[in-house]
A and B are shown apart, each in its own frame.
Chain A
Amino acid sequence: MFAAAVCAVLFGAGCGANGADDSAQDSARDSITLGFTLEPTSLDISGTAGQAIPQVLLDNVYEGLVRVDGDGTIVAALAEEYSVADDGLTYTFTLREARFHDGSSLTADDVAWSLNRMLDDASTTVLPTQLAQFSKVSAVTATDNVITLTLDERDNDLLYNLTQRGGVIFKKDTADFASAAIGTGPYVFAKWDKGNSITLERFDEYWGRRADTQTVIFRYFADATALSNAMLAGDIDVMTTVQSPENLEVFKAREDLKVLSGSTNCEVTLGMNNSRAPFNDASVRKAVRQALDKPSLIETAWGGYGTEIGSFVPPTDPWFEDLTDIAPFDVNASRDAIARAGLVGTEVKLDVPPINYATNSSEFIAAALGEVGLKVSITPVTWEEWLDRVFTKADYHLTIVCHIERNDMAIYANPEYYFRFDNAEYRDLIAAAGNAATQDERVTALRSAARLLSEQSASDWLWLIPNLQVAKREIAGVVKNSVGDSYYVARIERV
């Protein structure tokens, strides 16, 4: 009897309630819900690692002096105008008038305080990566509404780095970065329902073009299937990440939904340990590359969505060249190279972290390398283990990881990085690019560097992950390309 009563109450509530889905009620309140998988651990954008934090806060809540837009172009943000001296050692920014979300005015002191945090190498409240990004800046000064950055050496990445989490402008003397976020952006951080969602509300005193939608909700799903189901059931308006591209067919078949495709900077990389046999031999590394039929791999692992790349450069970078002919698919050549090196039957381990692009491609790679004489044993590892054993100690043979950072060719110039690629010529080329006085010089140097990487087969670059999203047909203004860390929502609207 009791059971029947409970059932009646629950089902009554379920069926008696408004049958319309949640987002139909939302449109009446001018609100849009976005689905994500990784939730931030805190709001500390400059001190805690993890892409989920800038994804929600950068350019929406917090802003920098400059911003990077969906095409990769750097545009003015809190700086009305800026200029770089010819020798590249002085950057001058003229600050515009703006307000913080608590009503106070933005001053040059706020900017100077925020950027000076990046210069304190002993800081524990700023991430080491960000400190390194500003290592060439020796001073940040503010006079009236002008901010001047003085550098020791030319740094061609500085302007881009100022658009990311290191360049974010806080109110002077902010102490609580983890649970509060007072910025100048088009949205105010309104509410965090931990484990569930973050809500942003439009900031009506924004200095620039007002955001198009009043409320934007970032909803987090720990499980990718739950995210997909929410999209299919109409509970969310945009699915910002497609974890299983082979399931896109389900979304394509629906009249009321559309699939959006853009580019990312994420190169799925088959890391080969250059400091350990058998991969300390470049001909063996090349053999590995030649054993893998990339189009088939992309079809198997990623539903056919993805671009073949011949080096560590995405097609959206100015120094991109099609280098896929340097180590083309050739099973016979691969087999011969392995035989010549006397490695037939050698056992190697493939460390696979718990992420779909890695698990999806591991079997294919093991089978393909088996064809040419290498016996691959697949070892699943947790991220903690991967970070410790593979990344820090370089105790591995092969591994698969996607590198998402933009302009990250410099990692191959670090002989201690987990690739353990130690090539002086490459280091010189990267240094030359950093010191280049003109964009052309920079492009030339990086092109040569990319070519060198491919000729040396430092790693194999399996494919470039496309930026796939699904949205309801009536949603406009979704940024298609994933350029920096921010998921910019100010132009999203329901038409």
Chain B
Amino acid sequence: MNGVGRRLVASLAGILLSTVFVFAVLRVLPGDIATARLGIDATPAALAQLRAEYGLDRSVPEQYVAWLRDAMRGDFGSSLVDGRPVRGEIIARLDVTLPLIVVSSLLAVFVSTWLGRRVALRRKSMSGLFATALSQLGLAVPTFVIGVCLVAVFAVQWRLLPAGGFPVRGWREPTAVLRSLVLPIVTLAFTQCAMLVRFARSQSLDFVSSDAFRTARAAGRTADQALGTARRLVLSPVLTITALQVSALLTTAVVVESVFALPGLGSMLVRDIANRDVTKVQSTLLVVVMAIFVVRFVVDFVNDRLDPRRLA
């Protein structure tokens, strides 16, 4: 079976393993939806009855198979807490998280490749040192601090942008949505960029000491132009790193959602775990895991096009 087919099978196996792992971990945590709903004075009889209603008294493998069967048909079940269909909730939250993650990642990728290339040629100059210092800052300072600083300046001090929140009417108020997302996107992008810049820079430096660079210079190109021909070579590893970091990105996005009071997927996941809403958590994580594998797949595909030598 060829490369694509192999990758596909490996991905599916990975997704399945992830769901089993999530299922198991959720069952190990103390407390369950019944204790979360009925509170501290619940009687054992009431708890047992509620658990039976939720189907939690079946054996764990039985519950897993039932859930997987429904999920494969596209039925992600309903929340154990309020009965709302999980699929609708995930889609609503994706309205917030998807633009946040996608735009900040793209921003980070392109800014870091451009910056990495510029800095590689100006290592000893002021702009090079400045960019390096900024990268160090971005790595050292926690994301929420960056977020809070941006809020302090742009929202509290200058009243240019909201301190947080997402418009109640969502994307039907596109201007308000964009205003709400500016600072969170910049915060998330800054954090990613700080890390990616170093890869972009080292790739660029590698190229600068290569024959291809010298040849381009000999042919009369400026240093910037010569390095420009290696755009793809620098972009490729940056994209790979981004794909590997996607799960970490979701965790950072939770922090950003918290600082900016955004009703995103990450914060919903954290709350559902606290509520032990196992159906919702499993289905949400299934979507997240699938998305991560899709991203890796796409990035592999794009990298093969950027650098045909990989396929050889």
The tally of residues in A whose CB lies under 8 Å from a CB in B reads: 59
- For the complex formed, measure the closest distance between the CB of A254 and the CB atoms of chain B, giving whole angstroms: 10
Asked whether, in the complex, the Cβ of B46 is within 8 Å of the Cβ of A124, the reply is: yes
Chain A contacts for B267, CB-based, 8 A:
195, 222
Q: Is A43 an interface position by the 8 A CB rule?
A: yes
Asked whether, in the complex, the Cβ of A223 is within 8 Å of the Cβ of B258, the reply is: yes
Asked whether, in the complex, the Cβ of A132 is within 8 Å of the Cβ of B41, the reply is: yes
Contact stretch, chosen from B8-16, B163-171, B242-250, B292-300: B163-171
* CB-CB nearest in chain A for B104: A6
- For the complex formed, measure the closest distance between the CB of B130 and the CB atoms of chain A, giving whole angstroms: 18
Chain A contacts for B114, CB-based, 8 A:
3
Chain A contacts for B181, CB-based, 8 A:
10
Contact stretch, chosen from A11-19, A76-84, A95-103, A449-457: A11-19
- For the complex formed, measure the closest distance between the CB of A177 and the CB atoms of chain B, giving whole angstroms: 10
Contact stretch, chosen from B63-71, B80-88, B117-125, B195-203: B80-88
- The contact sample of 20 A-B pairs, CB cut-off 8 A, is A2-B110, A3-B111, A10-B182, A13-B175, A17-B175, A41-B37, A49-B38, A124-B50, A176-B83, A193-B168, A193-B263, A194-B92, A195-B267, A195-B271, A225-B259, A229-B155, A229-B156, A230-B163, A235-B165, A384-B29
Asked whether, in the complex, the Cβ of B110 is within 8 Å of the Cβ of A226, the reply is: no
- Given A41-B81, A124-B49, A222-B267, answer yes or no on A230-B164 (Cβ-Cβ < 8 Å): yes
In whole angstroms, what is the CA distance A233 to B271 when docked?
26
- For the complex formed, measure the closest distance between the CB of A312 and the CB atoms of chain B, giving whole angstroms: 18
In whole angstroms, what is the CA distance A134 to B94 when docked?
44
Residue in A11, A14, A42, A197 with the greatest tally of chain B CB atoms within 10 Å: A14
Q: Is A388 an interface position by the 8 A CB rule?
A: yes
Asked whether, in the complex, the Cβ of A41 is within 8 Å of the Cβ of B165, the reply is: no
- For the complex formed, measure the closest distance between the CB of A185 and the CB atoms of chain B, giving whole angstroms: 21
Q: Is A50 an interface position by the 8 A CB rule?
A: yes
Chain B contacts for A14, CB-based, 8 A:
160-161, 178-179, 182
Chain B contacts for A229, CB-based, 8 A:
148, 151-152, 155-156, 163-164
Asked whether, in the complex, the Cβ of A178 is within 8 Å of the Cβ of B178, the reply is: no
- For the complex formed, measure the closest distance between the CB of B165 and the CB atoms of chain A, giving whole angstroms: 6
Interface of A is mostly: mixed
* CB-CB nearest in chain B for A195: B263
Asked whether, in the complex, the Cβ of B82 is within 8 Å of the Cβ of A43, the reply is: yes
- For the complex formed, measure the closest distance between the CB of B145 and the CB atoms of chain A, giving whole angstroms: 11
Chain B contacts for A6, CB-based, 8 A:
103, 106-107
* CB-CB nearest in chain A for B260: A226
- For the complex formed, measure the closest distance between the CB of A234 and the CB atoms of chain B, giving whole angstroms: 7
- For the complex formed, measure the closest distance between the CB of A406 and the CB atoms of chain B, giving whole angstroms: 16
Asked whether, in the complex, the Cβ of B163 is within 8 Å of the Cβ of A128, the reply is: no
Chain B contacts for A217, CB-based, 8 A:
168
Asked whether, in the complex, the Cβ of B179 is within 8 Å of the Cβ of A17, the reply is: yes
Asked whether, in the complex, the Cβ of A178 is within 8 Å of the Cβ of B152, the reply is: no
* CB-CB nearest in chain A for B48: A124
In whole angstroms, what is the CA distance A129 to B178 when docked?
45
Q: Is B35 an interface position by the 8 A CB rule?
A: yes
Q: Which residues of B contact A (CB under 8 A)?
A: 29-31, 35-43, 46, 49-50, 53, 81-84, 89, 92-93, 103, 106-107, 110-111, 114, 148, 151-152, 155-156, 159-166, 168, 170, 175-176, 178-179, 181-182, 185, 257-261, 263-264, 267-268, 271, 275
Asked whether, in the complex, the Cβ of B151 is within 8 Å of the Cβ of A199, the reply is: no
Asked whether, in the complex, the Cβ of B89 is within 8 Å of the Cβ of A21, the reply is: no
Asked whether, in the complex, the Cβ of B82 is within 8 Å of the Cβ of A178, the reply is: yes
- Given A6-B103, A13-B179, answer yes or no on A124-B168 (Cβ-Cβ < 8 Å): no
List A18-45 residues whose CB lies under 8 Å from chain B. 19, 21-22, 39, 41-44
Q: Is A47 an interface position by the 8 A CB rule?
A: yes
Asked whether, in the complex, the Cβ of A223 is within 8 Å of the Cβ of B259, the reply is: yes
- Residue interface bits A120-141, CB-to-B below 8 A is 1, else 0: 0000100111001000000000
Asked whether, in the complex, the Cβ of B46 is within 8 Å of the Cβ of A196, the reply is: no
In whole angstroms, what is the CA distance A384 to B274 when docked?
9
Given contacts A128-B41, A195-B264, A229-B156, 15 further A-B contacts (CB under 8 A): A3-B110, A13-B175, A21-B159, A124-B46, A129-B41, A179-B83, A193-B166, A193-B263, A223-B258, A226-B261, A230-B165, A232-B156, A233-B162, A235-B155, A387-B35
Partner among A9, A232, A387 whose Cβ is within 8 Å of the Cβ of B40: A387
- For the complex formed, measure the closest distance between the CB of A354 and the CB atoms of chain B, giving whole angstroms: 11
Q: Is A476 an interface position by the 8 A CB rule?
A: no
In whole angstroms, what is the CA distance A115 to B178 when docked?
48
* CB-CB nearest in chain B for A43: B82
Partner among A3, A128, A225 whose Cβ is within 8 Å of the Cβ of B46: A128
Partner among B31, B160, B162, B168 whose Cβ is within 8 Å of the Cβ of A388: B31
Chain A contacts for B170, CB-based, 8 A:
193
List A168-188 residues whose CB lies under 8 Å from chain B. 176, 178-179
- For the complex formed, measure the closest distance between the CB of B116 and the CB atoms of chain A, giving whole angstroms: 13
Chain A contacts for B155, CB-based, 8 A:
229, 232-233, 235
- For the complex formed, measure the closest distance between the CB of B235 and the CB atoms of chain A, giving whole angstroms: 12
- Given A6-B103, A226-B259, A229-B151, answer yes or no on A195-B46 (Cβ-Cβ < 8 Å): no
Q: Is A219 an interface position by the 8 A CB rule?
A: yes
Asked whether, in the complex, the Cβ of A178 is within 8 Å of the Cβ of B83, the reply is: yes
In whole angstroms, what is the CA distance A178 to B162 when docked?
32
Partner among A11, A129, A226, A387 whose Cβ is within 8 Å of the Cβ of B164: A226
In whole angstroms, what is the CA distance A384 to B106 when docked?
39
- Given A229-B151, A229-B155, answer yes or no on A42-B81 (Cβ-Cβ < 8 Å): yes
Asked whether, in the complex, the Cβ of B164 is within 8 Å of the Cβ of A235, the reply is: yes
- Given A222-B267, A384-B29, answer yes or no on A47-B37 (Cβ-Cβ < 8 Å): yes
- For the complex formed, measure the closest distance between the CB of B211 and the CB atoms of chain A, giving whole angstroms: 29
In whole angstroms, what is the CA distance A43 to B37 when docked?
12
In whole angstroms, what is the CA distance A194 to B156 when docked?
26
Chain B contacts for A178, CB-based, 8 A:
81-83
- For the complex formed, measure the closest distance between the CB of A200 and the CB atoms of chain B, giving whole angstroms: 12
Partner among A13, A199, A223, A227 whose Cβ is within 8 Å of the Cβ of B168: A199
